[in-house]
Chains A and B, each alone.
Chain A
């Protein structure tokens, strides 16, 4: 059974702080890793993808991948109240295209 695990939260951080979101996955053959943001009442929106070990930065977002530890994280620098949302980690295990395994999401709350 392929699984993606996330801490459900809620994770509360003050405005301007760094928010750290973590995700672990169960299968070593995983190839592609994604972070989606989902605002309440909205569909998931892709914010980051990462395919190789190390860090990938895009604006205030940094994704970190460690395949040996089967661990992927998302850092949000200078957190803003508008970052308050549920963050979904998704893993493609290289099977049928489009078959992402999603974690249950971490709810982030950024307090002004």
Chain B
């Protein structure tokens, strides 16, 4: 498994502002992944963050709205920009370890936009 720490664990933000979520992993990993879980919904991959290159975004997610940084092999940030109530979700950082592309998740960041 992996120890994955996220900050903040919870936040309430005003619409129109931005929130940056930090993710720290206990060992070096090539790729880090950001998922979103909207209320009552399943998890959806936002983007894959490789160190030293731009993040790769999934369909429906754009860099202007979800800029990602990956400054080193143990750390990444996800910013959710120009917040709206529809952005209220759990945002999850994850890494891949072991056989079969097993994904392990951080504790999650609960965002409420008011």
Residues of A within 8 A of B102 (CB): 32, 34, 46, 49
Alpha-carbon separation in the docked complex, A41 to B39 (Å):
11
> 8 Å CB contacts to A: which residues of B49-72?
56, 58
Main secondary structure of the interface of B (DSSP, over half): strand
* Chain B residues with a Cβ closer than 8 Å to the other chain, count: 26
> 8 Å CB contacts to B: which residues of A70-103?
88, 90, 92, 96-100, 102-103
B87 within 8 A of partner (CB): no
B27 within 8 A of partner (CB): no
Asked whether, in the complex, the Cβ of B100 is within 8 Å of the Cβ of A92, the reply is yes
Residues of B within 8 A of A36 (CB): 105
Residues of B within 8 A of A96 (CB): 48, 56
Out of A32, A43, A51, which one reaches B92, CB within 8 Å? Answer: A43
- Closest B residue to A44 by beta carbon equals B105
Alpha-carbon separation in the docked complex, A99 to B61 (Å):
14
Question: Given A43-B108, A46-B1, A104-B41, A98–B103 Cβ distance below 8 Å?
Answer: yes
Asked whether, in the complex, the Cβ of B103 is within 8 Å of the Cβ of A100, the reply is yes
* Chain A residues with a Cβ closer than 8 Å to the other chain, count: 25
Alpha-carbon separation in the docked complex, A46 to B104 (Å):
7
Residues of B within 8 A of A100 (CB): 43, 45, 101, 103
Residues of B within 8 A of A102 (CB): 42-44
A106 to chain B, nearest CB (A): 11
Out of B45, B101, B108, which one reaches A42, CB within 8 Å? Answer: B108
Asked whether, in the complex, the Cβ of B103 is within 8 Å of the Cβ of A31, the reply is no
Alpha-carbon separation in the docked complex, A79 to B18 (Å):
43
B113 within 8 A of partner (CB): no
Listed from nearest, the 8 A-B pairs whose CB atoms lie closest are A32-B100, A43-B108, A98-B33, A102-B42, A102-B43, A104-B42, A43-B105, A92-B101
